[in-house]
Amino acid sequence: MAKKYFGTDGIRGRVGKFPMTAETVLKLGWAAGKVLASQGNRSVLIGKDTRVSGYLFESALEAGLASAGVNSRMLGPMPTPAVAYLTSTFRAAAGIVISASHNPYYDNGLKFFSTAGTKLPDDVELAIEETMKQDMTTVDSAELGRAVRVDDAAGRYIEFCKSTFPAGRKLTGMRIVVDSANGAAYDIAHRVFDELGATVISVGAEPDGMNINKDCGATAPDNLRAHVLLEKADVGLALDGDGDRLIMVDHRGEIVDGDKILYVLACARNEGGSMHGGVAGTLMSNLGFEHALGRRDIPFARAAVGDRHVLELLKKNDWQLGGENSGHIICLDRVTTGDAIVAALEVLAVMRTSGKPLADLLDDLQMYPQVLINVPIAEKVNLDSQPTIQSAVKDAEATLGDNGRVLLRPSGTEPLVRVMVEGVDAKEVEQICQQVADAVSAGLE
């Protein structure tokens, strides 16, 4: 059954336009409350990032839940992975994050977590969508839900994050720049690394409701690079607006994306005997990364783009480590979703244990050049049924051989087909990508 509200990562849109209106979010709170209350648990956690519209949707959600007889615990600004963790520790029926992640301030969204701290199962999302078709009602006054503020939420999560760092070890003597994207982790991230002994230089930590992700954070890592070089720091950490993505910068100013972070973690776990299975990446994971893992006999598998799909693949294969090159890193033996702070702590632990800077841990990783061309299309089509396009792809793959890859991916949000080609030779990759893009454009005329 097609979903009207829920996408691959919750609900998201422009503030003031469907579905991110006060009226719709009010009813979503009510519908979610009805479904959750029917399962016997009447407690929900609500967290948010620093967007100015968070106040609006926080109030609407709480009112909707209360009208369905469900109690709300209000967490205030809180990273997405923190809400997932706290939902589990509070044994709540669900956790809801008001955030549009890496999007600009004028967007917002809702992410739902189950009592286990994982994304809501499809059947629960479908039940909420079905309930949205009903007229909104209100329980008797004696049964209305209540709202309370959780004053120690940040402290609880900070202690959890610190508990994932090796016992007895500290970050004393390490100089770290932390860019929190003026988002949900603007205070928490600094405190975690500071309490572990690091000298922390905070940037992107002055949210005003409208500067979230603006020229900072994981989606704009040049800001972090500049500060790392200026401060002569050992390493830099960039989070996105809701704290579930991590991009790093080494002491030389080189950007370290999600694939590289996963490589550091996989190699360290493999050498330390704690690697459980293999690594789950996505269709966009770099082929050089996959080949480097193969040289170390570390299994690798690709999921569809999206951390939800990575998590599904990890569970299917009974693996623990996965993520996306965009910076979603899932350490399933520690957390239930992508967590930038926890992933950063594991990389810092590897640096501390090995005595090596981040750059040295990536010495033997050769990333392949990738070229991406967006081809506009009039309407969605089945690319597999276009012989001209498939012929161009086969010719490209034959030219590249085992040292290259071609990927055609229709955009889920725009009228585009994304053509991605990667291989060893940058000029060849660029030429082949243009040829395939031209074939896609001509084949869809």
User: What's the number of domains the chain is made of?
Assistant: 4
Residue corresponding to tokens 């991605």:
420
Provide the pLDDT for residue 385. 79
Decide if 344 contacts 410 (C-beta within 8 A). Answer: no
**In this structure, are 242 and 272 located in the same domain?**
no
- Do 199 and 76 have their domain in common? no
Q: Is pLDDT of 158 > 80?
A: yes
- Work out the pLDDT band at 415, boundaries 50, 70, 90: confident
Which tens digits make up the pLDDT trace of 83-104?
Answer: 999 999 999 999 999 999 999 9
Query: Which CATH number fits the domain that encloses residue 400?
Result: 3.30.310.50
Is 233 domain-assigned? yes
Domain shared by 31 and 146, yes or no: yes
Report yes or no on 163 lying in a domain: no
Element (H, E) at 410: strand 404-410
16 and 116 together in one domain: yes
Domain enclosing residue 190, as ranges: 172-256
Q: What percent of the chain has pLDDT over 90?
A: 90
201 and 307 both lie in a single domain: no
Instruction: State whether 47 and 90 are in the same domain.
Output: yes
Per the annotation, the verdict on 101 as an active-site residue is: yes
Rounded Cα distance between 334 and 213, Å, is 26
Structural domain includes residue 1: no
Residues 263 and 261: their CA atoms lie apart, in Å, by 5
Mind listing the pLDDT tens digit for each residue in 343-373?
999 999 999 999 999 999 999 999 999 999 9
pLDDT for the residue numbered 412? 66
Q: Is 70 exceeded by the pLDDT of residue 11?
A: yes
49 found inside a domain:
yes
Task: Please write the tens of the pLDDT for every residue from 289-344.
Answer: 999 999 999 999 999 988 889 999 999 999 999 999 999 999 999 999 999 999 99
Residue range 391-399: average pLDDT?
Answer: 95
Listed in sequence order, the residues at least 6 apart from 382 whose beta carbon sits closer than 8 Å to its beta carbon are: none
pLDDT at 28 over 90: yes
Q: Please pick, among 72, 88, 101, 285, the residue that the annotation labels catalytic.
A: 101
pLDDT of residue 432: 97
Whole-number pLDDT of residue 413? 63
pLDDT at 381: 72
Whether residue 425 is contained in a domain is answered as yes
CATH label of the domain that carries residue 263: 3.40.120.10
pLDDT confidence of 443, banded at 50, 70, 90?
Answer: confident
Residues 177 and 251 in one domain: yes
Evaluate if residue 377 carries a pLDDT over 90. Answer: no
> What torsion, rounded to 10 degrees, do the Cα atoms 215, 218, 223, 224 define?
160
Q: Provide the H-helix boundaries in 178-282.
A: 188-195, 222-231, 258-272
Average pLDDT score, the chain: 95
Closest CA to 188 of 77, 336, 326, 329: 77
pLDDT tens profile 198-214: 999 999 999 999 999 99
Q: Which range has the worst mean pLDDT, 114-118, 164-168, 244-248, 376-380?
A: 376-380
Answer yes or no: do 140 and 75 share one domain.
Answer: yes
Q: What is the pLDDT of residue 391?
A: 93
Question: Helices (DSSP H) in 117-220: which residue ranges?
Answer: 122-132, 153-163, 188-195
Cα-based angle 117, 53, 239 (whole degrees, multiple of 5): 50
Residue 1: pLDDT over 80: no
Residue ending a domain, choose from 321, 342, 367: 367
Residue spans of beta strands (DSSP E) within 206-245: 235-239
